[in-house]
Amino acid sequence: MRRVHPLWLVLLLVGCGSGVSVSEAISLVKHSGVQTLRHPLRETRGTTRLLLIGLDGVGSDELGMAIDGGELSSLEAVAGRGQDRPGQFEHAYRARDVMSILPSTTMAAWTTVYTGAPAAESGVPGNEWFDRTTRRFLAPAPVSVRGMDHAMQIHTDGFMGDQIAVQTVFERLDLRSHVSLGPIHRGADVYTTPRALDAVQMFSILPEALRGEHTISEEAYAELDEGSIEEVLEAIDEFGVPDLQTMYFPGVDLVAHSRENPLQEQHEHLMNVIDPGLRRVLDRYRSEGVLSETWIVVVSDHGHTPVQHDDQHALSVDDSADDPPAVLRRAGFRPRPPELVVPDDADFDSVFAYQGGLAYLYLADRSRCPDEGDTCDWSAPPRYEEDVLVAARRFWDASEHGQPFPALQGSLAMILVREPVAHDARPNAFRVFDGERTHDVAAWLEEHPRLDWRDVPRRLEQLAVGPRGHLAGDVILVANLGHDIPEKDRTYFSGPYHSWHGSPSVRDSEISLLVAREGWSGARIRGIVEEVLRPQRSQTRITPLIERLLSE
């Protein structure tokens, strides 16, 4: 067994360029391994159980190809042979056309998986966002800002639980629940993360992984996902098999972001890393005598779209002359620095929050802070004509005409605006801005169809109209990201990556969903799944599906 002094672990994490503060490094080392979140633990009920396998970034097509190609033989052993009916196996059913919320990105989507609520209700609108009511930038999966403390606090201080405004599935079920590495675990009994040294290694690679850099070895991503397995087995040793066990695999997403041939790399990772790990867990369930009474649910948050790994296609927040902040500066705005935390009196009247396929833009009422050095009052909404439309028009000119930034011509698929209201009022819906006027989203898409986009009006409303809808900003910029666009023309909001997501496109949005159970026919399972999905083939139905399966 490796013995490493905790002080050296802290120094390693702080000194490796991870963007982690000393206090958070200490907290990570302290909280790594198996944590009990409830005292005492709930008793297991000893009947139907559920094992949820969360494959971050594995789209529906990729899961289907992995199963058909024998890359996930551990699941194939439970599901049995494929049958004539699409998606149906001897003992399993794989649902198709189940869409993520918008944005199709990690933190927002997993929050929906584990709450059943879209972003306008859950309070988690993306990987990062700005809360004008507190003047605070939140970044559990930072894209545009430097600083990893919120990402660390997911595992040490329940950061995501503090942001979620609705009940989690663990709270709704009130059953013994164990969570391995997943960002959503409020209400669970046991939470497991890699042991201290492995946790330090994990977080030391995250800054490069989140920037899409190619310097990280496949072994590092493998260790990240293998760590999810080890602690599941240790928790079973200590506490037994729970009613609900969730396992989260983030490495299979990071490998797609950061490696050339991203989808091929995903398949190799599924076969060489995740499949052997799943086999160990399923074998353990079998040896404990509970596999036959356990539902196996495989689900993802989003898919992936390959992109060009260069500054031309990456719409970042750098100080270069042709990135989105430059557009605002040319119009007289003062964008917030790309830091997780800025001084309380910092001078900024605009904030970007990046989601890959989308960018949220938050604006202050500039009449209240007109001069450089003024601190803006973010409790007040911006002005529609003088702030919102001024910013939107500058981005329209840049994307439509390349003025005054030729490199940005053709970079945007759509610009969305809405009339501001007070933060405690019900937010207005977004409308499409065409450089002069605004249009209803559904009507605009009828006249300007995007064949690769799915159910955009409803998904956009679920993002922006609701008690937490103000967190999606005042303007939304939609990148040219989708499988219907040639790769050389795809753009995305972040630094350079090899693959991204977050857009309304099918490849980004169609999630994996497989349900299996030994001894049950695929037809019977199909009937249950389709009944739950009938109101809406949406990620919002995963929590109701979990509840239904555990009642069988």
pLDDT at position 7 is: 36
What distance in Å separates the CA atoms of residue 389 and residue 437, rounded to the nearest whole number? 10
Residue 223 has pLDDT above 90, yes or no: no
Task: Determine whether 317 is exposed, middle or buried from the number of CB atoms within 10 Å of its CB (0-12, 13-18, 19+).
Answer: buried
Across the chain, what does the average pLDDT equal? Answer: 91
**Rounded distance, CA 324 to CA 312, Å?**
12
Higher pLDDT, 155 or 416: 416
pLDDT confidence bin for 24, thresholds 50/70/90? very low
pLDDT at residue number 220: 74
Interval 527-537 mean pLDDT: 96
Q: Over 80: is that where the pLDDT of 102 sits?
A: yes
Element (H, E) at 294: strand 294-299
On the question of a cis peptide bond just before residue 535, with omega within 30 degrees of 0, the verdict is no
Mean per-residue pLDDT, 439-446: 98
Number of alpha carbons in the 13 Å side-chain half-sphere of residue 326 = 15
pLDDT given for residue 318 in this prediction: 78
Residue 516 has pLDDT above 70, yes or no: yes
Closest alpha carbon to 210 in 76, 50, 30, 17: 17
Return the pLDDT at 14: 35
User: CA angle at residue 272 from 270 to 274, to 5 degrees?
Assistant: 45
Report pLDDT digits (tens) over 325-376.
Answer: 999 999 999 999 999 999 999 999 999 999 999 999 999 999 999 999 999 9
87-91, 139-143, 152-156, 391-395: which range is least confident on average?
A: 152-156
Residue 11 pLDDT class (50, 70, 90 cuts): very low
For the purposes of burial, counting CB atoms within 10 Å of the CB of 469, is it exposed (0-12), middle (13-18) or buried (19 or more)? buried
pLDDT at 430 over 80: yes
What is the per-residue pLDDT for 268?
Answer: 96
pLDDT band at 9 (very low <50, low <70, confident <90, very high): very low
Tokens of residue 82, six digits: 């494929």
Q: What amino acid occupies position 459?
A: R
Ranges of each domain in the chain: 32-124+164-305+509-551, 324-496
Mean pLDDT value of segment 24-51: 79
**What does the pLDDT read at residue 40?**
95
Which band of pLDDT confidence, cut at 50, 70 and 90, is reported for residue 18? very low
- Report which of residues 292 and 27 the model is more confident about: 292
Pick 32-124+164-305+509-551's CATH classification: 3.30.565.60, 3.40.720.10, 3.20.20.70, 3.10.450.710: 3.40.720.10
pLDDT tens digit sequence for 246-275: 999 999 998 999 889 999 999 999 999 999
For residue 314, pLDDT over 80 is answered with yes
For residue 32, what pLDDT band results from cuts at 50, 70 and 90?
A: low
Smallest CA-to-CA distance from 544 within 185, 189, 169 is with: 169
Between 181 and 296, whose confidence is greater? 296
Reply yes or no on whether the pLDDT at 29 is more than 60: no
- Say what percent of the chain tops pLDDT 70: 89
pLDDT given at position 81: 93
User: Above 80 in pLDDT, residue 217?
Assistant: no
What integer is the mean pLDDT of 453-464? 97
Q: How confident is the model at residue 149 (pLDDT cuts 50, 70, 90)?
A: confident
Residue 436 has pLDDT above 90, yes or no: yes
In 3D space, the residue among 460, 394, 382, 399 whose CA is nearest the CA of residue 103 turns out to be 460
Give the DSSP letter string of 143-179: SSSB--HHHHHHHHS-HHHHH--S--HHHHH-S-EEE
Task: Give the side-chain half-sphere CA count within 13 A for 212.
Answer: 26
pTM: 0.93
pLDDT confidence bin for 95, thresholds 50/70/90: very high
| CB-CB contact of 366 with 389 (8 Å) | no
Q: For the residues 27-43, what does the mean pLDDT come to?
A: 77
